[in-house]
Structures are given as structure tokens and as C-alpha cells.
Structure 1
């Protein structure tokens, strides 16, 4: 009996998705749990795998089509998969190199985007992935090894490659442009940022924090911490998350959200941590962060960062959140005004640590200082509350023992 292969159930915050890449075609055989299609939403790329071994008898949507939650994507006729006759066994790399000339190999969304941006012929690139699958690294290596002025696909002569990948000089006097469609994720990010600026009364307050005590503590226990917690590194984010959780308990308005004419106060702290990826900024969530230890927070942030890089974040990882931290300091930002992530009413911006002269006990000394910025929705949070929240975070970071003692 034929089996319908359906799209995953999208959460309420995701209206629809788009078929990004079909990895199988009609008539292809698949093994159980083998990747069939990738769906791109405005938050994550979702993978759909085969529920049983069998043959794909029908595909209902083409790449680029928009689909709704739980839409029937394809039909699978279950049955034992019979190996196709082939040449004597050889390595996957050899099989890939012997493929039919001009036949496009399978590739993921990242590799496909690079191929399209640079007007490359995918059949001319050697794939090192499973079964000759073309990876992003394969395309990067091909670009790095391509001679300057190498011929590209027809119609690509006037496209400017990304400077990070091709720094060859352009012909003098030539005015070239590059036009590519936004990904669904980038378009959704743009929409949400515009909504945040137009639909909230956003205001930002600033302060600075002396990082010397925390840096001293980190230096003292860094190696011991890493050994005790199975390689988890001791960073600053764990302390800032714990400091924010404590401050959110004291100032619940900053942890609340506005729903129509109602204010929703959350009795928990689900903290989002902004992560930069090649496709845009994503905000995975640390659930019940107030009950997590600093080691748990550091390990979770590392795991979520790796999942974001590999495009493995799930809807559950991205949904919810009552407050957000954004660390622009890792890129060298000295000061910024972070934008709210509605329906949240507060976001803390961290920045680069810079040595500056400050006055301590009547003496001018050089200290490692960091600017903090709290953007908040003035419809709900008064200036006094916002300033007191930020001062609380500052005090906890400058005296880390208070975090453990909840003082």
C-alpha cells in the first residue's frame, strides 16, 4: 500500500515553507530514513526522510514551490530495495568521478547557492560527499583552484562574485551588478526587523561594566572548569545569561510580552542567544535558563551554535523565548542599539571588551571595559525599570559571587 510522504507540522509562527532541494526523483529507490527533500522555512531548513524503504512513485511539488504544513510531498511504494546493476565495486570518490559528463550531482542548499551565485557547472566539480554528493566545501575548493578568468556558465559574465571567494580585479571601467533573490529566511528577518521598528516604542539605555573581576575568575578556573565539565569551555556568556535571569526575576516587566491589550508575564526565563550564520541571524532558545548551571549554559550555547552552522536547528530550538542576548562584541562592535525580537520586550546587547582609563577610588586606572545596551519596549517598560535592570546586570557581572549567592 502506497505511503504519503508529508511535510512536517509547522508551528503557529511559521505559515508555510518552500521546497529547497529534492534529493530523489520519481522512480528512485530509497532506504528507510534516507533524505528525500529539504524544506526551507523562514526560520530553519527542515529535512524529510523516507519512512520506509521503497520506490518514489510520485512527486507533488517542484523545487521553489510553496507548501503548507503537513502537505503531501510525494508518494512512496514500500518494498525491498534491489541494488541496481553496476560496475565492479569501487570507492565512492571513483564512482563520482566516472559519472556521466554533464550530469548534475546531488547537492545541499548551501552548495547549490554557491553554484548559482558563481554561475558554475556542477557536473565539473568533484563531489566528496556520500555517493558523490556535492558539498559546500567542494564548491569552495573548486573556486579557490579555478584560474582567473575561467569560463563560467552562459549569462554569468556580468555577475560579480563574492569578494570572500573571488578577489580577482574587475575590468577597468566596467560597471557590473549582481541581483539574487532573498532567501525565505533573509526575507523573514527583514520583515521582522521592520515590524519591530514600526510596531514597538523601542528605546535603548546604556551602561558600562568592568570586566576585570570576571576575567580574573575565568583565568583562575578556566582549565579546571574544562576538565571537570568534559571539555566545556568557560566563557562569559554563561555569566551574562545567569545575571540576566536574576535581573528578570526582579523586574518581571522586562521578561513579559504584549498580546493585544494584555500583558503576559512569564514565570520562567527562556533566554534566546543570537547566533550569526551564513544565511542570517538566528536566535535559538535556552529553555528554563534560570535552572541551568553555568556549565550547562556554556555547553548548550556551543551545541546550538554548531547546529546553527550545520543548519540542523529544529523548530523547537527556535520557538519561544522571553528575553534575548546579542553579543556583537565577537565581531568587534564597540557600541550598538540592538533591535527587539517581538513579542519580547527586552534585548541585551553585549560588545567588545576594550581597555579604557576609569576612575576607581579616586585613582585613574586602566581596566577592561564593556559597553552594555538594553533595548526595550517603552509601551510596557518605563525608563526607571530599564535602567535598574541594566544596573543589576552590571552589578552581578562586576561581582560574580553575587550570581551564585543570588544577592
Structure 2
């Protein structure tokens, strides 16, 4: 019996890895323009970190975490909590008042696998820590929009303000009263959420609950003057940058640490999983985890979803050749010669490959095509004696003679110039 991958844990095959590398490279380029630096955090953290940050009554903590109860450890379901833990532990705020960080890597949630969401999934995560300025909110949103634009991915942007610790409790009471009046019509999860996490009812995907939510009191209309002023300035900054958005008063996000500005980049091309990226402010999170009272804002984007959208929106980029040069050796002497040559080319930074099985030229040219080589150098024993090989441009099929010599150093220099 063959052993297969666990449900929800997918292999990323070489032809798709090229696409992932393209997304990661573009993300790093964009993030670095905004002054973000990369941080790499562990996959395994203390369970308490996620309970205290994400919230004990959230779906993530209640149902979805991969936890080792006896050890008190959990595989990270998201990156923000781990980055905040590292920020506090290493005193990064002492080094620099405002920290701009990003991370790329796998996350783990035990939920039903579906299009664009696996149990092991990958995220681009960004965080700006230390500033309360609403312009920072707009800047971070603009960075996400810029990345999507440069990848060639079309999404819509929705934003909301979910208030702060001052204005949310009164709204929560008002919302609970409303939900109690419609209690019998709610789904079983939302009946429970009414008292544990009522804001999550507004984000329920069940059609009956969505209809009920339309009549619910709006948090955006209940926020305090400070939160209202902050959100107005965020919108003004986005307007100045020419970024299109819509207000969504039902957007609440699924994690307890969010405050004030929240936002989502959405698509209609992924079925139920409409969010490509999402984030918001978390001004009390660092203090809640035992650190200084510093504000922060961040977002995450799903790598699987970005890759799917590039495929579905027909914007898969042209990928570079996998090999710069393939060496087709025809005969034992030419094979020895090419073995030395291919090694020297690789030392010069050239992506080079050859076949050692002594197959026909036709078979080796097929292999060169499988490698997606830009050029092929053809050398047989006779060509070696006459010190003249043939180099073929694999895209135009044009070929020309090239001089060989016993010392392969000079030839490797010439070839490096041709294929670069």
C-alpha cells in the first residue's frame, strides 16, 4: 500500500514552485520598498500565546489549532502572535521606535480543506509596530494593493473600523440584545457565539444569519469620536493615493486582538474563500502579551490563493528557463570533456546540465527541452577532435559553430557570456 500525503497537506511540485518563488520575490521587493525587514519565527509556540492573543472563544482556538496538550505546545495557526512574542522577547522596540517586519512561511489549522485553503497553508505576513498614525494604516493597505497590482491580481478592497476598548463594550451589549431577539433563527454556532463572541455572528457564512446581520446595529455607527476621526483620516489618505475601496460595516475579522481599522482584499474567483488577504490594527495586543503598550497594524495574504488567482486570471508570469545551458555529449571523450566543462560553468554561476547515459542526440535534445534550457552545446568525439562544437539557441533554433580547446577555462568564459 502506497503512503500518501495527509489530507489537507499538499505537495508543491517543482513546476509550481517556480510560481511560488515569483510571488515571494515580488513580495520581498515591495515590502522592502516600504522599509520592512524579514523575521523568521518558529512553527511551534506555547499554546498560551495563541489563547491570549487570538482569543479563547474564537473558532481558531476552539476548533482549529494543532495542539499537543501534554506539552502545552501548538503549531502556529497565524504569524502575528509569534512575531509579537519575538518582538517582546528580544526588545526590538529598544533598537528602533517603529519596527517594520514581514515573515513568509507555513501555518496550520485543522479545518475542512477547500479551494485555496489547506490544513497546512502559507502566508505572507506584514507588521508595522509602534505608530498610532492613521496614515500608517493607509500606507500598509497601499502596500498590499501595490503587491497585488504588480502581481497582476485583480481584487476589491473593503475596509471598516471595529472601534476600541472604550466604544466596543457598549456596542457589544446592544448587539447581544439584538441577537437575543432573533435567537431562535440563528444557527447553532451563532447561538453560542451570541454570549462568547457576538461580533463573529456578523461574519457568519450561513444565509439565515447573514440576513439577520443586515438588520443588526452597525459598529461603524457606534464607534467613539476618537475612532471615528482615526478612520476618517485613513479614508482621506487612501483617497489621496487613489486607492479604491468600499465600506463594509459587517467586517469584524476572526481574531480578538483587532481594533479600529480592519480591511480585506476580496475576489469572486475562489468560491467560498473570497479573502485573498486581510488585516487590521491590534493596539492592545503587545501589552496583553506582557510587552510595552505599543500599537501595531498588519496583514496576511494566502500564498495558495495568490498562486490560484494568477492561474485563474490568466496572469501566470513567463518563467525564466530552468537551465541556461544543456551540454549534449556524444561519445566517451566528449562526455569526459563536458563533465569538466559543466563543473566550471556551474562555478561561474551558470545553470548547466548534461546527460551521462550516452543517449542519442535526439533523446538529449528532448531532455534539454524538458530542462527548458536556453541554449544547448552539442559536442561529439569528432567535433572534439576538430575543436569545433555547435551551440543552439533553443527558442529560435538558430545554431552556430563555437571553438573548443583542451583547456576548458577559456570556453567556459565564452559560454558564460553567451548564455547570460
TM-score using structure 2 length? 0.24
More helix per residue: 2
Name the larger-Rg structure.
2
TM-score using structure 1 length? 0.25
